[in-house]
Chain A
Amino acid sequence: MRIIVPLQGIVQGRGGLILGSLIPCALLYFFQFYLKRNRSSPPPDSPSASTANLPELTGIPRNSSRTSLPTRGSIRPVPVSSRATAIARDSDSAYYTGWKKYLEDPYHPTSNPDGIIQLGLSENHLSLDLIEEWLAANLQKSLLGEKRGDLSISGLATYEPLGGLMDLKIAMAGFMSQIMGGSVSFNPAQIILTAGATPAIEALSFCLADPGNAFLVPSPYYPGFDRDINLRTGIKLIPVHCRSSNNFSLSIAALEREYKQAKKRRIKVRAVLLCNPSNPVGNILHRETLYDLLSFVTDKNLHLISDEVYAGSTYGTEEFASIAELLDTGAFDNSRVHIIYGLSKDLSLPGFRVGAIYSYNENVISAVSKLTRFCAISLPTQHLLVSMLSDTKFIEEYLKVNRERLAQMYALFVDELKQLGVECFKSSGGFYCWVDMSKFLKSYSVKGELELWENILNVARVVVTPGASCHCIEPGWFRFCFTTVTERDVPLVMKRISKVLKDHKASQ
């Protein structure tokens, strides 16, 4: 405008206005060229040493068109997708940082007693010995399958049916029923098997929502959801905050509020995603809450995804009820409900990659089955698990003993932490304590929480998960997993943490 006005003074009328607009544009245009020409070119690539070793490749002709190519210096690197850039850089969150640090210097009671203790990974190391015993007695039979006498690989090796072997679906249906205490039975034809619960939730998300749509998720929630659900599907997660004042239980009113807010922002909500028993809080949703949820999703015409991977890992006095139980009553349209399950938690087999989707919706079952070609379970593992899960006596014993050990370890952690002046939320399931360290924060904020988290990591050398990673609205809550250490390690854990807590209390 400053250029235009004086020009208008010189050239009266419209001409001045036109010239006044054209001249700055032309100047800018030529300025860009000047800048481009003077930008420094990247250094040429150094030739790889291996070219010297491939005389026979001189036969590959180099086309004369190469001479017409622009010089190497000005070729820009071939861009990758924005998704690749996003995921490659996504290592800043506390959740992943702690994990990485642990891998660099892992604690071992004898060989590395000063190493970093991992309480940030929700894995159950308490009952693997039971499975080892079973394997010692049953492995050969299980790998080959009882039907085959000799080592016939053709059954092991060939392409499997979509969504997994029917035998495994049947075994899984039975296992899920056992987990839920026999209160509900599952139909094998409604199960789709995937290489872990991670691809299960992604595949299901692809089927239920389009990019830009959203799921409502009660928070605090499992940090992995942010990547698992959003990365390739483009689906947003909208946290529905639960508070300590309400025992971190889900309020339908809060759900309504977030739904309305999303609508105002023109974001289409497609589903509510729950984790029950919940991660990281460890509470179990009551039947009434589930009932209210079903009413809510019916009313708003949404899907309901119930991630029940910890269903078999409950230890409190509260009884776990799967959403499937409520659907049995026939009071609700079940075609909108989908359950995620897997063996990584309840059977402590994360390495074997076994997950499942249980749906009542034929179209979803058909679509997700097609998607399993991207994430199918390896056949030898499928055969092994058919055997293991079909041994109902073993499973019953395993579930009972595992629950006892979980209860014991949970109680030990809670007591020990209490002695340090730290209170835990009363959890009923999962592998973790939901710990309130708000009174140790130097400032009651996310910054204060992360400061405490860093000190616990770097000074106490213990990895825990800060509530901020789980989208907890109240600062000061932490998730401590108690299933990756033995009882013998607990005094050391407490000793290390108490030092940091003392420092923090002293500086308040």
Chain B
Amino acid sequence: MNDTLLSRRVTCNSHGQNSSYFLGWQEYERNPYHHITNPSGIIQMGLAENQLSFDLLETWLASHPEATDFKNADGSLSLFRQLALFQDYHGLPAFKVALAEFMSELRGNKVSFDPNKLVLTAGSTSANEALVFCLANPGEAFLIPTPYYPGFDRDLKWRTGAEIIPIHCSSTNGFRLSKPALEDAYRRATKLKLQVKGVLITNPSNPLGTTMTPIELSTLADFIEAKNLHLICDEIYSGTNFITPEDFISIKQVVAQRPHLSNQIHIVYSLSKDLGLPGFRVGAIYSENDLVVEAATKMSSFGLISSQTQYLLAKMLGDKEFTRNYIVENKTRLKERHYKLVNGLGDIGIECLESNSGLFCWVDMRHLLKRNSFESEMELWKKIVYDVGLNISPGSSCHCTEPGWFRVCFANMTEATLDLAMQRLGEFVQSGGVMRRQRRLGPAAIAWWARRLLTASVKSLEQLSR
């Protein structure tokens, strides 16, 4: 049986798995660092995962066996029966209430969420895809500010048939969203004869780690109002805003001020980043648009959350004392780790974009490039992966228009590992960027990799400039 018998979706490349973002992961998986068994392996700094506060979750679980033992108050296991049979796509009511309150808590209780307007999905990946299915017909487009999370190319476009048009943001104004940039993206979409259905933003931003300013949010709201568009606001990092709580302004606060836009604004949330539980697969869509909520609820059949997990989290998030302490302690640890990375990089002459959230820094390595080009960026990236042994994400994989920027994660490793990473990078920079490590690739292999990565990045850039 030949390949022509599979669908076009499978045989084409729009799952984006060939971007350098994923290639780096593959290299890491081939040679992962371990402090004992593989101390010269590649350190994973390309994974935006929060592993800093597991102990808090473990302590809670150990002291609350009722969250996981399926026992009712009377000690019988009848709770198990209820959960085993619970497949209602409206979700476990207790969990939705707890989640709505948790989301409110993360926003300083400045806004409240109605549990009936929440749709549960198996992770924010599923939530984003379902929302695009609900809002855009195949061939219609969403505008997304660059740089953006590489996974969007796959999550938003692959099965939905939607298109992404990047909104070019640059370092000249700190990668902030501006009206001219929005208008330019809209114009480019129109030129390509694409119907623009909406804008998608991530706030706090991935990969920048910054929160949107009131002016940016206002500009955005004006824009979607003028052009009659939807706005998807991915707020999955809302609990990682670690400098000043007031920095993070949720789009829900904007909706409160402009209620006539409530049918056009939709929020995506997940517990993968804030609680560090990506394996639990917990995501949600929040919308005031009843049609969207109804459609997304039914679509969630394709990605429901296990009732066992819903129950566990209903208990955990329902413990307000725990969640309040967790949010504060988690932010403290993130802040500490953030500054450790920023200062460590600063000591070796590498600056980061000033950021106040996220699990990563947006690092400026433009001065380390041979030339101001993406080929140079790839060359530097390759050196950092193979010679230095750090898997970081190149800006081009995030569709950044300026070469030389990299996303470096800091929350998915121990402090000792981060120290080692800084040490390795320091040695690399001090040696003029030509450090050679024990394990290296031969020149032929390097050339092959360079060609492969170049083709992948040029292809994705071509697609961008369509």
Contacts and interface: CB of A to CB of B under 8 A. Distances in A.
Contact of A232 (B123, B159, B309): B159
A371 B122 CA distance: 12
A377 B228 contact: no
A68 to B, nearest CB: 8
Nearest to B161: A211
Contact of B257 (A60, A65, A228, A231): A60
Interface in B255-297: 256-257, 259-260, 262-264, 276-282, 289, 291-292, 294-296
B253 interface: yes
A208 interface: yes
Given A301-B5, A361-B1, A374-B125, A78 B276 contact: no
Contacts of A69: 225-226
Given A131-B80, A380-B280, A375 B126 contact: yes
Interface string A82-94: 1111011010000
B332 interface: no
B159 A206 contact: yes
B217 interface: yes
Interface stretch (A151-159, A419-427, A442-450): A151-159
Given A60-B214, A154-B54, A380-B308, A351 B83 contact: yes
B299 interface: yes
B57 interface: yes
A132 interface: yes
A349 interface: yes
B167 to A, nearest CB: 17
B129 interface: yes
Q: Give the one of A54, A195, A208 with max B CB within 10 A.
A: A195
16 contacts: A57-B254, A63-B218, A69-B226, A87-B299, A88-B298, A135-B80, A156-B280, A158-B278, A198-B302, A207-B7, A228-B301, A348-B85, A352-B83, A363-B3, A370-B15, A380-B280
B312 interface: yes
Contacts of B110: 54, 56
A409 interface: no
A378 B135 contact: no
Nearest to A133: B77
A380 B311 CA distance: 12
A353 interface: yes
A351 B84 contact: yes
A90 B219 contact: no
Contacts of B296: 84
Q: Give the one of B15, B17, B70 with max A CB within 10 A.
A: B70
A367 B77 contact: no
Given A80-B295, A370-B17, A351 B126 contact: no
B93 to A, nearest CB: 13
B80 A159 contact: no
Given A228-B301, A370-B15, A376-B122, 15 more contacts: A45-B260, A62-B218, A63-B222, A66-B225, A78-B263, A123-B85, A154-B51, A210-B8, A336-B5, A363-B3, A363-B10, A371-B159, A374-B125, A380-B308, A381-B306
Contacts of A202: 302
Interface in B156-210: 159-160, 197-198
Contacts, number: 281
Contacts of A381: 306, 308-309
B133 interface: yes
A223 B148 CA distance: 40
Contacts of B301: 196, 198-199, 227-228
Given A83-B133, A207-B7, A361-B1, A352 B307 contact: yes
Interface of A: 45, 47-48, 50-51, 53-54, 56-57, 59-63, 65-66, 69, 72, 75-78, 80-85, 87-88, 90, 123, 125, 128, 131-132, 135-136, 139-140, 143, 150-154, 156-160, 195-196, 198-199, 202, 206-211, 213, 227-228, 231-233, 270, 301, 303, 333, 335-336, 344, 348-353, 361, 363-364, 367, 370-371, 373-381, 384
A50 B111 contact: yes
A228 B299 CA distance: 9
B77 A132 contact: yes
A82 to B, nearest CB: 6
Q: Give the one of A85, A136, A270 with max B CB within 10 A.
A: A136
Contacts of B430: none
B366 interface: no
Interface in B26-67: 47, 49, 51, 54, 57-58, 61-62
Contacts of B260: 45, 72
Q: Give the one of B7, B9, B83, B111 with max A CB within 10 A.
A: B7
A159 to B, nearest CB: 5
A87 B298 contact: yes
The 4 closest A-B pairs by CB, nearest first: A379-B279, A351-B307, A84-B295, A48-B259
Contacts of B291: 80, 84-85, 88
B9 A206 contact: yes
B306 A351 contact: yes
B81 interface: yes
A349 B307 CA distance: 10
B80 A60 contact: no
A135 B86 CA distance: 17
B52 to A, nearest CB: 11
B303 interface: yes
Contacts of B125: 373-374
A83 B137 contact: yes
A233 B133 CA distance: 11
A87 B119 CA distance: 15
B200 to A, nearest CB: 14
B69 interface: yes
A140 B87 CA distance: 24
Contacts of B140: 81
A179 to B, nearest CB: 18
A65 B226 contact: yes
Contacts of A206: 7, 9-10, 159
Given A157-B279, A232-B159, A375-B122, A353 B304 contact: yes
